[in-house]
Chains A and B, each alone.
Chain A
């Protein structure tokens, strides 16, 4: 046992002490934020302004087509498809004459191809204009229409989840976010750390360290030490991220003015509704912060984080030993690794696909089954847990899923160890999956 500890220590320290580890751990979340900010920025920046000349045979749309941020409708005289570009328009919208209830085709011609979102925006504006026209045709005055629009209040749907006697507020969007986020994170880390294990084993084999090592320790100890060491690196990385996020959030709190914080606290006290005639009025900022805090509080964080760590470790252990087995049979040629990895990467990718479905339908039979079978349970169960235990996921499902994952990784580790033991000392021979199967199920 002591030897495994020595191996774990080396595998862990040699990676954590590396400057690259610190750099990636800090840079990854920053890059992620930058990526999201950048993507949003460019998505908005990238939109071109459309100056659209409308040729309306009915004379109805003038004044009824609403301009957007990047879309401007104009109704010039004497513009046609032949000259709209010369006259400074980017597009021309041709509206044919209405003929009763018959469907008509609107045509838009452009200098450049119109993007999907712009096309949708234009189409929506035309629809709204037609709706207005129809309502007006039905005898509703323009002024009436506007006043109805103004007065109508949009309903806010608050969904409650049965929990024994009381009902708990739940938030589908948040659950979706957590489910997808944690499933995605497990997916990515499984590949990153799985590949790290495989590369480590390949390094030992190609650098001819394996035989030196197995003359001191059992191959199983060597494999397990590497897997646990790298798993600990992964956990360290998560821990650092959590600390980083908490730190950033605390830092952000100092940036919020004092009054706003007081208002948020008052909102918290009164459950979001400040009593009329109160001393304080909550500003928009305070309202927003309260909303975010309130939404976040609907999730069962300790359970989610606890399960995340369990499923991350379980899924990692389940696949890492398989990656180690593949690494042990690969010779110098990295191309071999690619083809041998296929049978391992396929179920991971497949689980990811099921996971994206499960976050939308957490109660569907396929999601339920996939969250119990150890091949896919780490990702799929995380997607479902976000929707609540025991609401969406029954306790027995969670327990069976966890137990079968433990049994699953014990089995894969046991089989992989047998492949590893033989593969790591074998040089110059290309090994097929069939042979690996033979090694795995050999008696001793």
Chain B
């Protein structure tokens, strides 16, 4: 699979700060990509460059293998910014039609697609309602529809679930999966790590304008694992002494252990097997993305540098 988007050494400086400072990464076609970072990390600036709203000071963007030309390529991108809104006085159907036409669809094409999506998301009865009468969740749904209506190859969603109830959030989530399956690439920007863990194939973490993490969710978890395991035993021996691991936590009949350097998980099992203790379960504890995220962002520049080594 080839990359739909390739960023090479992108830089964007404002008067006082470096909003994006030499960021490169690439996004595979058809993947769901997570762009993460704390507030003010440079995510929005980065997304604005990808959508052609801003021009980078230096560096290049390749879209579908060719240099990015905002004016022509914009039709193939759908962007739902974090700061989003609608014209309050417009009717919903007209509004969707207006945005679709601005994306380059003809009137009849746009109508057809709007009907399709409105039906799909059960919004048909809304057509003549005014935007100002919509609840936050409803206007969120409308935003989503107008973003994906023109079947863009690249869909950029900035905090797409904010303001949605769980039912509608699931509905949108399913649509996102569906779009990815049909060949669209999705960039997903958020602070909500549990969503990223659930949805994204590949993530990039930016902080202070720099990329500090890049990889698949699985790989990153492996990278940041602390060799901790949870082991459930039929009974806990009073004293546990082993070179292979140290006990971090004791619960009822469960232990959290950390494996010492140069030892393997099998050494833990062996230790208890030798004592004839029944092992009920044994699994590795991987750090959640949230923990990794907080650890990286809260940390000083020293930790940031430390984690740059493996990547």
Identify the A interface with B (CB < 8 A): 3, 6-7, 10, 14, 203, 207-209, 211-218, 425, 427, 444
Instruction: Check if A3 sits within 8 Å of B102, measured CB to CB.
Output: yes
CA of A425 to CA of B81, assembled, Å = 11
Instruction: Check if A208 sits within 8 Å of B102, measured CB to CB.
Output: no
Picked from A211, A212, A425, the residue with its CB within 8 Å of the CB of B99 is A212
Instruction: Check if B83 sits within 8 Å of A216, measured CB to CB.
Output: no
Instruction: Check if B102 sits within 8 Å of A217, measured CB to CB.
Output: yes
- A14-B51 contact, Cβ under 8 Å, with A213-B102, A215-B74: no
Instruction: Check if B77 sits within 8 Å of A215, measured CB to CB.
Output: yes
Q: Return chain B residues, CB-CB under 8 Å to A427.
A: 83
Q: Pick 17 A–B contacts, CB within 8 A, sort by A.
A: A3-B102, A14-B87, A14-B90, A203-B88, A207-B86, A207-B88, A208-B81, A208-B84, A209-B85, A209-B87, A211-B53, A211-B81, A212-B80, A212-B99, A214-B53, A215-B53, A427-B83
Q: Return chain A residues, CB-CB under 8 Å to B74.
A: 215-216
Instruction: Check if B98 sits within 8 Å of A212, measured CB to CB.
Output: no
Residues from 102 to 161 in B contacting A, C-beta threshold 8 Å: 102-103, 143, 146
* B55 interfacial contact with A, CB 8 Å: yes
Question: Closest approach, in angstroms, between the C-beta of A432 and any C-beta of chain B?
Answer: 13
* B283 interfacial contact with A, CB 8 Å: no
- A425-B53 contact, Cβ under 8 Å, with A212-B99, A213-B102: yes
- A209-B102 contact, Cβ under 8 Å, with A214-B53, A215-B51, A425-B53: no
Count A/B pairs, Cβ under 8 Å. Answer: 55
CA of A180 to CA of B83, assembled, Å = 47
Question: Closest approach, in angstroms, between the C-beta of A439 and any C-beta of chain B?
Answer: 10
Residues from 53 to 107 in B contacting A, C-beta threshold 8 Å: 53, 55, 71, 74, 77, 79-81, 83-90, 98-99, 101-103
CA of A14 to CA of B48, assembled, Å = 29
Chain B residue with the shortest CB-CB distance to A7: B102
Instruction: Check if A211 sits within 8 Å of B83, measured CB to CB.
Output: yes
Question: Closest approach, in angstroms, between the C-beta of B304 and any C-beta of chain A?
Answer: 27
CA of A440 to CA of B89, assembled, Å = 32
Chain B residue with the shortest CB-CB distance to A209: B85
Instruction: Check if B84 sits within 8 Å of A212, measured CB to CB.
Output: yes
Instruction: Check if A6 sits within 8 Å of B85, measured CB to CB.
Output: no
Contact with A along B13-45 (1 / 0, CB 8 A): 000000000000000000000000000000000
Q: Return chain A residues, CB-CB under 8 Å to B79.
A: 212, 215
Q: Return chain B residues, CB-CB under 8 Å to A209.
A: 84-87
Picked from A212, A217, A218, the residue with its CB within 8 Å of the CB of B85 is A212
Q: Return chain A residues, CB-CB under 8 Å to B99.
A: 212, 216
Instruction: Check if B84 sits within 8 Å of A444, measured CB to CB.
Output: no
Chain B residue with the shortest CB-CB distance to A13: B94
Q: Return chain B residues, CB-CB under 8 Å to A213.
A: 102
Question: Closest approach, in angstroms, between the C-beta of A332 and any C-beta of chain B?
Answer: 13
Q: Return chain A residues, CB-CB under 8 Å to B48.
A: 425
Question: Closest approach, in angstroms, between the C-beta of A217 and any C-beta of chain B?
Answer: 6
Q: Return chain A residues, CB-CB under 8 Å to B143.
A: 212
CA of A6 to CA of B99, assembled, Å = 10
Q: Return chain B residues, CB-CB under 8 Å to A10.
A: 98
Q: Return chain A residues, CB-CB under 8 Å to B89.
A: 14
Question: Closest approach, in angstroms, between the C-beta of B12 and any C-beta of chain A?
Answer: 13
CA of A6 to CA of B106, assembled, Å = 11
Chain A residue with the shortest CB-CB distance to B79: A215
CA of A218 to CA of B77, assembled, Å = 14
Q: Which 8 A-B pairs have the closest CB atoms?
A: A208-B85, A207-B85, A215-B79, A211-B81, A216-B102, A208-B83, A209-B85, A215-B51
Instruction: Check if B55 sits within 8 Å of A212, measured CB to CB.
Output: no
Chain B residue with the shortest CB-CB distance to A438: B15
Chain B residue with the shortest CB-CB distance to A208: B85
Instruction: Check if A216 sits within 8 Å of B103, measured CB to CB.
Output: yes
Q: Return chain A residues, CB-CB under 8 Å to B88.
A: 203, 207
CA of A208 to CA of B52, assembled, Å = 18
CA of A425 to CA of B54, assembled, Å = 10
Name the residue in A14, A207, A218 with the highest tally of chain B Cβ atoms < 10 Å from its Cβ. Answer: A207
Question: Closest approach, in angstroms, between the C-beta of B149 and any C-beta of chain A?
Answer: 11
Question: Closest approach, in angstroms, between the C-beta of A224 and any C-beta of chain B?
Answer: 14
Q: Return chain B residues, CB-CB under 8 Å to A211.
A: 53, 81, 83-84
Instruction: Check if A6 sits within 8 Å of B86, measured CB to CB.
Output: no
Question: Closest approach, in angstroms, between the C-beta of B114 and any C-beta of chain A?
Answer: 15
CA of A150 to CA of B278, assembled, Å = 137
Name the residue in A7, A209, A218 with the highest tally of chain B Cβ atoms < 10 Å from its Cβ. Answer: A209
Q: Return chain B residues, CB-CB under 8 Å to A7.
A: 102
Q: Return chain A residues, CB-CB under 8 Å to B85.
A: 207-209, 212
CA of A425 to CA of B84, assembled, Å = 11
CA of A218 to CA of B54, assembled, Å = 10
Name the residue in A211, A212, A216, A217 with the highest tally of chain B Cβ atoms < 10 Å from its Cβ. Answer: A216
Q: Return chain B residues, CB-CB under 8 Å to A425.
A: 48, 53
Question: Closest approach, in angstroms, between the C-beta of A227 and any C-beta of chain B?
Answer: 17
CA of A7 to CA of B90, assembled, Å = 13
Q: Return chain B residues, CB-CB under 8 Å to A215.
A: 51-53, 74, 77, 79, 81
Q: Return chain B residues, CB-CB under 8 Å to A444.
A: 55
Instruction: Check if B101 sits within 8 Å of A212, measured CB to CB.
Output: no
Chain A residue with the shortest CB-CB distance to B78: A215
Q: Return chain A residues, CB-CB under 8 Å to B71.
A: 218
Contact with A along B143-181 (1 / 0, CB 8 A): 100100000000000000000000000000000000000
Instruction: Check if B102 sits within 8 Å of A6, measured CB to CB.
Output: yes
- A207-B102 contact, Cβ under 8 Å, with A214-B53, A215-B79, A425-B53: no
CA of A212 to CA of B80, assembled, Å = 7
Q: Return chain A residues, CB-CB under 8 Å to B53.
A: 211, 214-215, 425
Q: Return chain A residues, CB-CB under 8 Å to B84.
A: 208-209, 211-212
Chain A residue with the shortest CB-CB distance to B83: A208
Instruction: Check if A6 sits within 8 Å of B77, measured CB to CB.
Output: no
CA of A215 to CA of B83, assembled, Å = 12
Q: Return chain B residues, CB-CB under 8 Å to A217.
A: 102
CA of A112 to CA of B249, assembled, Å = 99
CA of A425 to CA of B71, assembled, Å = 19
